[in-house]
Amino acid sequence: LKYLHKLIRLVRNVYIDLKTTGHFLGGTVATKHPHLGVTAIGSTDYSLMPALFGATLRADDVFVDVGCGKGRVLCWLVHKGYTNQLIGVELDPEISARTRLHLKKHSNISIISGNIFDNLPANATFFYLYNPFNEEIAKAFKQALESSYLPQGRTIRVLYYYSHCVKLFKDDPRWSIHEFSIGFQKEATLLTLNH
């Protein structure tokens, strides 16, 4: 049964990858930036995405995948028919160039090569994070969101999966926190920065 599940998962992954990019996007790549507090480049599993985004992402959101890696989150969103402006920012220049090439047929997707700290899209409303960085960098990211978006007087939301740095947000009254289950023993957190 375990092997059947694995096989079904592989078939689904290959199907969505090929349909949206023409390439298989599986596997994990070691990061070249461990000194920047960066984790390995693995993808969010497609099976978790309905629970992650189904009830959180709104039609008028400008979506940013912080550290988009090979782009599977963006693939899933176009596969499901989301027409939002979708932005992936990826630090690793080779990965981001390849992801841009793979996703170029989708006119609502843009891939930015570089560090999220230098590339916070001004019109962003919704950020997705799958464990891109360690606690020190997560703290700096929280501060960067506050200093970029609070002066604009806009509410932004951050969906944090694998949210082991969520405690940073808990003691700050500017942020509201909604933790929810996305599957067996898997939690995600939706953080809202209220202006």
Ligand X SMILES: C[S@@+](CC[C@H](N)C(=O)[O-])C[C@H]1O[C@@H](n2cnc3c(N)ncnc32)[C@H](O)[C@@H]1O
For position 42 contacting ligand X by CB under 6 A, the verdict is yes
Report the residue closest to ligand X, judged by CB. 67
Q: Are 138 and 171 in contact (CB under 8 A)?
A: no
* Cβ nearer to ligand X, comparing 72 with 98: 72
Find the shortest distance in angstroms from Cβ 115 to ligand X: 4
Our CA angle for 122, 86, 39, nearest 5°, is 85
Among 132, 142, 157, 189, binds ligand X (CB under 6 A): 132
For position 65 contacting ligand X by CB under 6 A, the verdict is yes
For position 17 contacting ligand X by CB under 6 A, the verdict is no
Among 38, 124, 165, 182, binds ligand X (CB under 6 A): 38
Q: Are 83 and 108 in contact (CB under 8 A)?
A: yes
For position 169 contacting ligand X by CB under 6 A, the verdict is no
For position 44 contacting ligand X by CB under 6 A, the verdict is yes
Strand partners, 110: 87
For position 99 contacting ligand X by CB under 6 A, the verdict is no
Amino acid at 98: R
- Cα→Cα distances 35→66, 103, 174, Å: 18, 29, 30
Our CA angle for 173, 178, 184, nearest 5°, is 150
* Cβ nearer to ligand X, comparing 39 with 47: 39
Q: What is the 3-state secondary structure (H, E, C) of 26-77?
A: CCCECCCCHHHCECCECCCCHHHHHHHHCCCCCCCCCEEEECCCCCHHHHHH
Among 21, 31, 84, 125, binds ligand X (CB under 6 A): 31
For position 68 contacting ligand X by CB under 6 A, the verdict is yes
For position 90 contacting ligand X by CB under 6 A, the verdict is yes
For position 131 contacting ligand X by CB under 6 A, the verdict is yes
For position 89 contacting ligand X by CB under 6 A, the verdict is yes
Half-sphere exposure of 152 (CA within 13 A, CB side): 14
**Rounded to an integer, what is the distance from CA 143 to the centroid of its chain?**
18
Site residue total, ligand X (CB under 6 A): 23
Binding site for ligand X (CB under 6 A): 31, 38-39, 41-44, 65, 67-69, 72-73, 89-92, 115-116, 130-133
